[in-house]
């Protein structure tokens, strides 16, 4: 889940807090103050409301929010661990926490969970188990979940003669792209107004790409760009999940998905990697009419619905060769820094965040799907009241077509290898098969 909005105070990058900008470098919180770090500005108001309720119940604790954009969030958290100035509680990600376990940077929650009789079975099935480490200890309580769907420009699809029913029944395969590629070709338009499925289409001068993206997916295991294609082709990341010991980046089913995506770029139906990864968010390109369709997570609903002059529709991901759709099922959790001097206060906040009262508050804001089933139902109603049918996201959970983000040791080192390899493949500098074979050997050596 990612959102890249940067907040500035003067010339220095600083966290947003309830009391405004504060001097940097102050790692310890004031007496009675609990520092809580998160990245998503869309969710901040909901959790501020939770904090008001929590503080009434716990008059000796005041929650200090620290918010940064996604990339800066993780670098700041890492620096805080090293300098022993990390926040007491922080929003955690499945792709990160394996290394935090290895480095001893998180507090196990098991004793407090048992003491306070917290029901870890109260969440959407599968979420809580993801936060149990290889040492069998639990390091987070679920806060929300997310899946992926297609956002499309309703004006552009209507102009292209494509209706919602057609978009709801797309299929894909890595050979010719199925009906999904036909739709993307039709939605692609060059500077002369020629569509991608018409003679004379100029792939070198495209005004609107049928399919858009923001980066190569190397920092989030292709969550919104390629993981769902490969999974719908029958591929799995690792030999087991969580805590697998062998990756499968050299699997032909994964290579086929990457090859198709690279072919989409070569045909002019998707932007060249350098253009897509230019620093402009995919949602902004979509809002400017440069992309007719993007795959993105449900955390982006508020962003796409808030774009001025653009009506964003939602469609499910296409069915693949397996006969099913597939979406990564990612769940965030709140964790406690092992170096916190306020672990009991931190636990009370983590417990409240994962509890019914806070999750129902978050649900009513209609910005994310909370981890508890009842809260998810409330969130669906809240989205519906805003005029958004979120079925393309929730169908994956309801029909069991999800797969988990790979959770393994050495995640940071693995992503450091994956990212440049994907750059070389999607930019056309190297062939997918040999490149992914080399990557897989390097990755698996890390886990030996």
Q: How many CA atoms lie within 13 A of 46 on its CB side?
A: 24
Q: Which H or E run includes 438? A: helix 432-446
Sequence spans of domains, the chain: 33-145+330-395, 148-329+405-446
What local confidence, expressed as pLDDT, does residue 31 receive? 72
* Predicted confidence (pLDDT) per residue in 358-393, tens digit: 999 999 999 999 999 999 999 999 999 999 999 999
d(CA 369, CA 139): 21
**Which residues are CB-neighbours of 25 under 8 A, at least 6 positions away?**
85
- Paired sense of beta strands 312-315 and 206-208, if any: unpaired
DSSP string, 14-56: --B-TT----TT--SPPTTEEEEEE--TTTHHHHHHHHHHHHH
* Predicted confidence (pLDDT) per residue in 407-435, tens digit: 999 998 999 999 999 999 999 999 999 99
**Are 356 and 374 a contacting pair, CB within 8 Å?**
yes
Domain range 33-145+330-395, CATH architecture: 3-Layer(aba) Sandwich (3.40)
What local confidence, expressed as pLDDT, does residue 71 receive? 83
Tokens matching residue 444: 């698996």
* Same fold across 33-145+330-395 and 148-329+405-446: yes
The pLDDT tens digits along the chain (448 residues) read 443 333 333 333 333 444 333 333 334 556 789 999 999 999 999 999 999 999 999 999 999 999 999 889 999 999 999 999 999 999 999 989 999 999 999 999 999 999 999 999 999 999 999 999 999 999 999 999 999 999 999 999 999 999 999 999 999 999 999 999 999 999 999 999 999 999 999 999 999 999 999 999 998 999 999 999 999 999 999 999 999 999 999 999 999 999 999 999 999 999 999 999 999 999 999 999 999 999 999 999 999 999 999 999 999 999 999 999 999 999 999 999 999 999 999 999 999 999 999 999 999 999 999 999 999 999 999 999 999 999 999 999 999 999 999 999 999 899 999 999 999 999 999 999 999 999 999 999 999 9
DSSP assignment letter at 217: S
d(CA 448, CA 106): 24
d(CA 2, CA 248): 25
What local confidence, expressed as pLDDT, does residue 30 receive? 67
The CATH classification of domain 148-329+405-446, taken from the options 3.90.79.10, 3.30.300.20, 3.90.330.10, 3.40.190.10: 3.40.190.10
For helices 411-426 and 252-266, angle between their N-to-C axes, nearest 10 degrees: 40
Q: Which H or E run includes 345? A: helix 343-353
Helix ranges (H only) for 103-174 are: 110-115, 154-159, 164-167
CA torsion angle 382 225 156 172 (round to 10): -100
Beta-ladder partners of 35: 64
* pTM tops 0.75: yes
**Are 287 and 281 a contacting pair, CB within 8 Å?**
no
Residue 191: closest CA among 203, 206, 204, 201? 206
What local confidence, expressed as pLDDT, does residue 19 receive? 37
d(CA 303, CA 296): 11
What local confidence, expressed as pLDDT, does residue 29 receive? 58
Beta-ladder partners of 199: none
Beta-ladder partners of 334: 91, 141
Distance of CA 164 to the CA centre of its chain: 25
CA torsion angle 134 441 217 324 (round to 10): -80
């Amino acid at each position: 889940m990612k959102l890249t909005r940067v907040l500035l105070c003067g010339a220095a990058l600083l966290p947003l807090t309830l009391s405004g900008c504060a001097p940097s470098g102050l790692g310890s919180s004031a007496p009675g103050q609990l520092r809580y770090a998160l990245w998503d500005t869309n969710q901040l108001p909901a959790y501020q409301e939770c904090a008001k309720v929590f503080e009434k119940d716990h008059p000796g604790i005041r929650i200090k929010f620290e918010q940064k954009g996604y990339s800066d969030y993780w670098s700041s958290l890492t620096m805080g661990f090293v300098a022993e100035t990390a926040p007491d509680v922080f929003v955690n990600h499945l792709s990160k926490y394996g290394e935090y376990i290895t480095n001893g940077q998180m507090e196990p929650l098991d004793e407090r969970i048992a003491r306070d009789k917290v029901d870890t079975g109260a969440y959407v099935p599968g979420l809580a188990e993801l936060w149990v480490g290889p040492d069998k200890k639990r390091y987070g309580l679920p806060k929300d979940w997310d899946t992926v769907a297609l956002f499309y420009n309703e004006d552009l699809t209507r102009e292209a003669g494509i209706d919602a029913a057609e978009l709801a029944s797309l299929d894909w395969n890595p050979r010719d792209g199925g009906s999904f590629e036909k739709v993307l070709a039709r939605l692609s338009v060059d500077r002369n107004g020629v569509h991608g499925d018409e003679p004379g289409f100029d792939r070198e001068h495209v005004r609107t790409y049928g399919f858009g993206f923001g980066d190569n997916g190397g920092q989030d295991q292709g969550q919104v760009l390629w993981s769902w294609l490969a999974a719908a082709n029958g591929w799995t990341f690792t030999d087991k999940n969580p805590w697998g010991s062998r990756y499968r980046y050299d699997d032909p089913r994964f290579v086929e998905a990457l090859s198709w995506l690279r072919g989409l770029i070569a045909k002019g139906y998707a932007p060249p990697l350098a253009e897509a990864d230019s620093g402009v968010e995919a949602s902004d390109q979509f809002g400017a009419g440069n992309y007719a369709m993007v795959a993105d997570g449900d955390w982006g609903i508020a962003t796409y619905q808030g774009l001025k002059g653009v009506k964003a529709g939602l469609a499910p991901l296409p069915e693949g060769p397996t006969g099913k759709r597939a979406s990564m099922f990612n769940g965030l959790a709140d964790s406690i820094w092992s170096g916190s001097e306020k672990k009991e206060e931190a636990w009370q906040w983590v417990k409240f965040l994962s509890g019914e009262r806070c999750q129902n508050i978050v649900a009513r804001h209609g910005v994310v799907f909370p981890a508890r089933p009842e809260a998810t139902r409330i969130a669906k109603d809240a989205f519906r009241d805003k005029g958004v049918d979120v079925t393309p996201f929730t169908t994956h959970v309801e029909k069991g077509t999800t797969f988990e983000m790979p959770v393994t040791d050495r995640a940071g080192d693995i992503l450091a290898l994956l990212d440049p390899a994907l750059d070389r493949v999607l930019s056309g500098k190297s062939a997918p098969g040999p490149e992914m074979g080399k990557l897989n050997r390097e990755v698996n050596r890390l886990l030996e």
